[in-house]
Homo-oligomer: A and B are copies of this chain.
Amino acid sequence: MMGQFVLRRRGAPLAPLIVAVVVFAFVSLLAASSPVEAVQLDRPPAAEALTYNLNLAWVLLMSFLVMLMQLGFALLETGFTRAKNAVNTMAMNLVVYPVGLIGFWLTGYGFMMGGIHQWASLGAFGLAHRELGVRFGHHAFGLIGFSKFGLIAVNNDPGSLAMFLFATVFMGVAATIPTGAMAERWKFSAFLLYGFFMSMFLYPLYANWVWGGGWLSQLGVNFGLGHGHVDFAGSSVVNMTGGLTGLAGAMVLGPRIGKFRRDGAIGLMAGHNLPLAMAGTLILAFGWFGLNTGSTLAASDPRIGLIAVNTVLASAAGSLTAILYLQQRYHRPDVAMACHGLLGGLVAITASSAFVSPAAAVLIGIIAGFLVVASVLGLERRLRVDDPAGAIPVHGVCGLWGALAVGIFADGSYGDGWNGVAGPVRGLIKGDVGQFIAQVIGISTNAIVVLGLAMAFFVVVERTIGNRVPAEVEWSGLDALEMGSEAYPNV
């Protein structure tokens, strides 16, 4: 009892900090949201070639950073699972990369970006993004791309090749998220099948609708709903897709043996290496710079400064909120939640990182921090879904929140011409209800189509080769009986 009291008192002085930060963020949000002209740099023809070079290099560099996120996810998920499944968890995160690459090369990129024909002719690479929907979308109300399979037609276009790499590593992130939710019980052959399904079809489909000139990107042009569904760097396209696919998989798989007991108790099932999970978190935070600042497709767009700052501030706010909230409520600094909060902040700022002020980024991160804590607890206790690595709360829930946040906080300082709509992107705080509706439509579509197709896929697999390892394999560990290699055989 005394110990409890001591801990409670220790937590107390930190409590007002969240309040202070929220107040400050709100006040500075108001100060910051006055209309500002976007800085326009004039560029005579002589400098255009160099701008192209700079931007090509930028897209590649940012792709490299995003690629390292495979390592971040691998460490995070492996740390949060048990030693007897460490090789299996690590292997899924490693193998999804080559599987996804080949699948995306074969059909995925064609489905996603096949409606856009002229990356090559874009002298200033970075200008492309915002004009895709109208100028290059080859469907008035597009459902899927259909060209560039195997990169054959664009072998000699550096812009298309860099775009392929950038799109590939984004897909890799989406594809590796479900391995966290479905860890410790997934049959490896079923996982391999999933890898091809995700990279060849499911991810490209929704990505086409938002980033490939598809119908969600044209909600603005066709129906006057703001700039259509706007997702700067993947809150919905990458994270929500990954999170909801993981949700579908975890529901079809069912919980790990021993997670939910008959008497209603929930098994703890702590991961075997928390420092590994923390290392993974920091690597993800590093790679996230690629995700967000790379999504200008242009180092020549000075907006990268704001994007990078928003990214770190939201992650900090998410992490700090989760720590202090739990310190307040449970009287101990929950380190796993600090990681989830940090990642939740990153996921949430992803869609809006170019469109909001730093103060708004802090607010978005704070809300993400609360959402992560609430949804980690709610998922287990209410929905009784077993998600060993917290993939569904972090990527699914915060991804949804992030896509919504564009429709609320976009402050009208960026995005002129985005998806073919003149004028900057504005959210509710600037009075554009249409943009908010476009965000809701994009999120709902993801929740219906991605979740539905993923569920359908897992059910079909369940009825054919099966998704789940036998109970005796799960008891002994997937490493011994499924993978044939133990993680730490020799210690």
Contact = CB atoms under 8 A, between A and B. Distances in A.
Contacts of A51: 50, 53
A150 interface: yes
A58 interface: yes
A28 B29 CA distance: 11
Q: Is the interface of A mostly helix, strand, loop or mixed?
A: helix
Contact of A71 (B15, B41, B60, B286): B286
A264 interface: no
Nearest to A330: B484
Nearest to A150: B28
B334 A484 contact: yes
How many residues of A sit at the interface, in one of the four size bands? 35 or more
Nearest to A86: B275
Contacts of A303: 158
A95 interface: yes
A400 interface: no
Contacts of A17: 19, 324
Contact of A47 (B47, B95, B155, B330): B47
Contacts of A357: 29, 32-33, 155
A94 B281 contact: yes
Contact of A485 (B47, B270, B485): B270
Given A49-B41, A335-B483, A165 B312 contact: yes
A424 to B, nearest CB: 12
B14 A67 contact: no
A383 interface: no
| Interface-central residue, A157, A164, A285, A309, by most chain B CB under 10 Å | A309
Interface string A9-23: 111111111111111
A419 interface: no
Contacts of A75: 279
A122 interface: no
A246 to B, nearest CB: 21
| Interface-central residue, A20, A29, A42, by most chain B CB under 10 Å | A29
Contact of A359 (B32, B53, B308, B312): B32
A12 B13 contact: yes
Interface in A88-117: 90-91, 94-95, 97-99, 101-102, 105-106
A57 B274 contact: no
A363 interface: yes
Contacts of A247: none
A328 B15 contact: yes
A276 B321 CA distance: 29
Interface stretch (A206-214, A223-231, A336-344, A438-446): A336-344
A156 to B, nearest CB: 5
A33 B293 contact: no
Interface string A158-170: 1111101100100
Nearest to A271: B490
Contacts of A484: 330, 332-334
A329 to B, nearest CB: 9
A47 B97 CA distance: 39
Contact of A304 (B56, B98, B189, B333): B56
Given A74-B278, A87-B274, A323 B24 contact: no
Given A331-B7, A358-B105, A36 B38 contact: yes
Interface in A180-203: 187-189, 192-193
A147 B83 CA distance: 51
A388 to B, nearest CB: 12
A21 B317 contact: yes
Contacts of A324: 14-15, 17-18
Given A20-B16, A26-B363, A331-B4, A488 B273 contact: yes
Interface string A448-488: 00000000000000000100000000000000001111111
A245 interface: no
A82 B275 CA distance: 13
A101 B331 contact: no
B192 A91 contact: no
B14 A78 contact: no
A272 B488 contact: yes
21 contacts: A9-B11, A16-B20, A17-B19, A18-B325, A28-B152, A32-B152, A34-B35, A36-B156, A43-B50, A64-B308, A74-B282, A97-B285, A98-B318, A102-B320, A160-B305, A162-B309, A165-B305, A272-B491, A273-B488, A334-B485, A336-B485
**A-B residue pairs, 4 tightest by C-beta:** A13-B15, A158-B305, A98-B316, A46-B47
